[in-house]
Structure 1
C-alpha cells in the first residue's frame, strides 16, 4: 500500500520536474541556498515564538516524515513519550501536532480545559467528507455544531434505544446466525458476516429498513465503506500540503474522494425518500427525527435556525450516525471474535453467565444486560486491547492555551493517543494480556470505569453514540456467544497482527474461525 512517505518522495520528484523550465533563470546552487536559508529562518521563527511541547527535531518542510511510513504509529508516539514526556510535538510536513499520551494530560485537554481544544483541524479530507464542516464529527465548535449535536442527541435517546434498538438487533442477527450456521463447521473469515449484521442494524435504526444479506445494492454499499477505509490508510499528503488537493491531487486522494461521494449519494437518496414519505404522526427512525426537527423550526418561522438545518446539514448529521456507528461497531466485533476464539476459558465463563441470565429458549436482549457483567467486561477489554481508533479524531485549539505547562497556539492540532492510554503500565497490569477481570469489582459486578479507559473520548466532543454503541455491542456479543462455540481452526495459533494500524484505524487481519451451534 502506498503510504505518505512514498507520496512525499514522489511529490518532490514531480516538483523537481515542474521547476526544470526555470533552471535557465535560477542556478541549482542559488536555488538550494535560497530555499535552505528561507526554510531555516521560517522554522527558527515558528519554533521559538511559542514554548511548544518537546519532541523529535523536524526537518524543514518534511517535518518528522520518518514517522509517516510506520505501521504502528500509535506505538511509536507512545515510545517517544518516554523521552520527551506525556505531551509531545511532532511535525507532519509543516503542521505541528501535539500528541497526548497519558490519561492525566488527556483529562486536562478534554475536560479541565473545557472548550479550549474543542475545535477540529482544517484538512482537505475533513472538508470534503463534511461538506465544508456541516456535520457533527468534523465541524468546528460553534452554535450550529451545538444545535446539531442537541438535535442528534435527542433523536438518539428517543428513537435508537429500547425496543426499537432490540428489534433492529434481533432482526439482523437472525440472518447473521443463519450465515454462521451455513459454514457447517468449516473455517471462515467472519468479517463480512459481522459487517452485514452491523450495517443492517444501522439501516434499521436510521431508515427502518432491513435488507437481505444477499441484496446487491446493500453489499455494494458495504464494499464501498471497506474500500474507503483501506484507501485512507495512514492519511494523505494533501492534508500535510493542502494546496496539492486543489492543484495536484494524488490518485489515492482522488479515489477516496470518489468513494466518499458515492457513499453520500446513497445516503442522500435514502434521505430524500424519507422526505417524500414523512408523516409527522409516525416518526419511524433517526432520519424522520431529523426531518421533524426542521419542521418544528419551520412552524416557529425561525429563519436563523432553518439556515442551520439545510438538507446538507441534515444529511451530514445522518452520515455521522450511520458511518461512525457502522465502523466502530463492526471493527470492535471483528476483534472480539478473535480474542474470544483465542481464549476459550473466558468464552466458557461468559457463556455460562449468559445461559444463567437468559436460558436456552430465547435470544439475549437489552433487559438482560445488568445480569451479564462478565460478558460486558469481555467487550470492554476488547475495546481496550484492540483500540479501533488508536489516535482518535483530532482536536484543534480554539484559542491560545496551555497544556502540560506548554504553549498551545490557536489552531494547533491535538491528538489523544488512546492506544497509549490503554497500554499504560501505570494503570494496567500486563496490558498485553486479555483479561476481562480488570473491569469487575470484588463481587464480580461491573466496576467503575477504569481511569485510563477512553474508547469514546471525553469532554465536549465525547462520542455522541456511546450509550447506543455499548448497548448494541453487548447484545450482539451475548447473542453470538449464546448461539455458538467459537474456535480457531485446529492447529492454528492466534494472530493478532492488524491489517491497518494508525490514522486510518486499527483493523483485525483476515483470520479464520470455526463455529459450532450450541444446543
Structure 2
C-alpha cells in the first residue's frame, strides 16, 4: 500500500514539500560542516533524531563501544540534532583531558543538569570560567586531601567503620542488604566535611537527604529524551515533576544548614566546606561589594555543597556495593585477600592507609572492580571551549565530547580477556606488587578530574579491608548469585541484594 493510498487527502505537491523540508533541515543541521575540517567518521544521521536508532537495543555505553569497533577510537554521532564526539581510547582520552585539558573543559547546558545546578552553578555542571575556578579552588582547599587532612579523614573513616561493623554484626549472619549501612557511613563522612555534623541513621534530616538523593538518581538520566529534545521538558512530565520535588527537599535541607552556619560562624574557625564558602563570600563582598555575589551568592554555595555531598555519597556507596557483590561472586578472591591480611596485620590491629602497599592484592581487587564496573561509564559530557583537536581529527568549538570509560576499561588491546574478573591483571607477575597505569581512568583526569578521588580511594580501601577483616561474605542459602549486569542511569548501580556476613572465627 502506498503513502497516497493511506492518506488520500495528501496530494503529490504536499509530499514534495515535506520531503524538501526534511532535506533542507538535514542539510542545515547535519551537512553544514566546515569543509576545511578533518572530522571523525560516524554513522549517517536521520533528520531530527540523528543516530538515536543506532542506540536501540543496549545501554548507551555498550552500544557506543560496539560502534567504536566499526568507526574507530574517535567517532561522531548525532544525539538528536546535537553532534557528539566519542573518545574510546586511553591515550586519546589523556590527550584531551590532560595535554589539552582546558580546550575540553566546558560543560553542556542540558535541561536536567540545568535543574540540578540552577543553570550551571557549582562545580560538577558549571561551565569553564571564573566562577567554576573559584568554587573548585575553595572546595579543594576545604577538603585538604593531603598531609594532616588525610590523617583526619582516615580517623573519620575508621570511626565510621566501627559503626558499620557493629551494624553488620547485629544481623548475626542473617541476610542483610548492605545499602543502608553503607549509605550511613559514606553519608556521615561527607556530611562531616560539608556540614560539620554526624547523623544518626534515624535522624529525620538524614532520611530526607537519602530520600532526595535516591529520587535524583532515579530520575536524572532516566528520561534521556528530555535532554535530546529540550522542548519535552516544558510539557507535563512525571520525571521532571519528581526531580523538582527532590530538588525542593534538597534546597530546604541545605539552606537550613547554610543559615545555621552563618549564625554560628566565628572568624578564623573553619569547621567545614560551608564555612569555607561563607568566609570567601564575606571577604569578596567586603572587597567588591555585591558584585561578588555574581559567583558567591547563597545559591552558588548551596549548589557547590550539593555537588560535593551528593556526588561523594552516591558514587562511593555504589562502588562499595559493587565490591561486596563481586566478592560474593568470587569467594576465592575473598580467601586470598583474607590470607594476605592475616600475613601482614597483627591480631586486631586497625587497618591503615599506610597498609595499602602491604596489601597489594586487596588494592588490586578494588581497582579491578572499578575497571569492570565504572560508576559513570560515559562520565559527564564535556564541551570544547575553543577549536581544538584529538588524534588526527579536528574538534570545533562548542562540540560535546563523551569519554567512554567502559570502552577504555574493556579495551582488548590493553587487557587480556577484559570481560573476566581478574585482580591479578593489576599485579606484577614477578614481584606481586601493584602495576601503575594501564587502560584505566575511573576518576577521569585533568582539570575536570574527580575532586574527591583521594577521599574515595581511602574509603574504598579502609571499608573493604575492615569488612573482610571481621566477616566472611556469603550468599543466603538457596539464593542464586545477584546479577552483575547493573542498571544504567546517573550512576551504574547493581540491583539491591541481600548477603550474609558471617563473623570470622579467627581474628587477624
TM-score by length of 1: 0.88
Match of 2:203 among 193, 203, 215: 215
Check 1:52–1:253 CA distance in 2 against 1; reply closer, same or farther (3 A cut). farther
- Is the aligned partner of 1:490 residue 2:477? yes
The 8 Å contact of residues 30 and 45 in structure 2, kept in 1 or not, is answered as no
Q: Distance in 1 between matches of 2:501 and 2:165?
A: 10
Q: Distance in 2 between matches of 1:290 and 1:403?
A: 36
- Is the aligned partner of 1:131 residue 2:104? no
Q: Distance in 1 between matches of 2:411 and 2:306?
A: 34
Return 461-470 or 192-201, whichever deviates more.
192-201
Give the Å deviation of 1:214: 2.3
Check 1:352–1:66 CA distance in 2 against 1; reply closer, same or farther (3 A cut). same
Give the Å deviation of 1:35: 3.3
The 8 Å contact of residues 50 and 77 in structure 2, kept in 1 or not, is answered as yes
Match of 1:151 in 2: 138
- Is the aligned partner of 1:293 residue 2:293? no
The 8 Å contact of residues 233 and 500 in structure 1, kept in 2 or not, is answered as no
The 8 Å contact of residues 158 and 462 in structure 2, kept in 1 or not, is answered as no
Check 1:363–1:271 CA distance in 2 against 1; reply closer, same or farther (3 A cut). farther
- Is the aligned partner of 1:37 residue 2:31? no
Mark the runs of 5 or more structure 2 residues left unpaired by the alignment: 1-8
Return 353-362 or 504-513, whichever deviates more.
353-362
Check 1:261–1:463 CA distance in 2 against 1; reply closer, same or farther (3 A cut). same
Q: Distance in 1 between matches of 2:221 and 2:423?
A: 30
Match of 1:395 in 2: 382
Q: Distance in 2 between matches of 1:104 and 1:365?
A: 33
- Deviation track 1:474-496 (CA, whole Å, cap 9, x = no partner) reads 11111111121111233544344
TM-score by length of 2: 0.90
Match of 2:255 among 265, 268, 274: 268
- Deviation track 1:27-63 (CA, whole Å, cap 9, x = no partner) reads 9646634532332332453256554311122110011
Match of 1:257 among 222, 241, 244: 244
- Is the aligned partner of 1:338 residue 2:330? no
Match of 1:282 among 269, 287, 293: 269
Q: Distance in 1 between matches of 2:399 and 2:476?
A: 48
SS in 2 for 1:60: coil
Match of 1:511 in 2: 497
- Deviation track 1:376-401 (CA, whole Å, cap 9, x = no partner) reads 22111111111111001110011122
The 8 Å contact of residues 488 and 513 in structure 1, kept in 2 or not, is answered as yes
Match of 1:314 in 2: 301
- Is the aligned partner of 1:72 residue 2:59? yes
Q: Distance in 2 between matches of 1:421 and 1:56?
A: 21
Q: Distance in 1 between matches of 2:409 and 2:192?
A: 33
Mark the runs of 5 or more structure 1 residues left unpaired by the alignment: 1-22
The 8 Å contact of residues 498 and 506 in structure 1, kept in 2 or not, is answered as no
Match of 1:196 in 2: 184
The 8 Å contact of residues 333 and 473 in structure 1, kept in 2 or not, is answered as yes
Q: Distance in 1 between matches of 2:221 and 2:280?
A: 36
The 8 Å contact of residues 171 and 210 in structure 1, kept in 2 or not, is answered as no
Q: Distance in 1 between matches of 2:122 and 2:86?
A: 25
Return 33-42 or 134-143, whichever deviates more.
33-42
- Deviation track 1:262-287 (CA, whole Å, cap 9, x = no partner) reads 22332222222112111234322222
The 8 Å contact of residues 205 and 253 in structure 2, kept in 1 or not, is answered as no
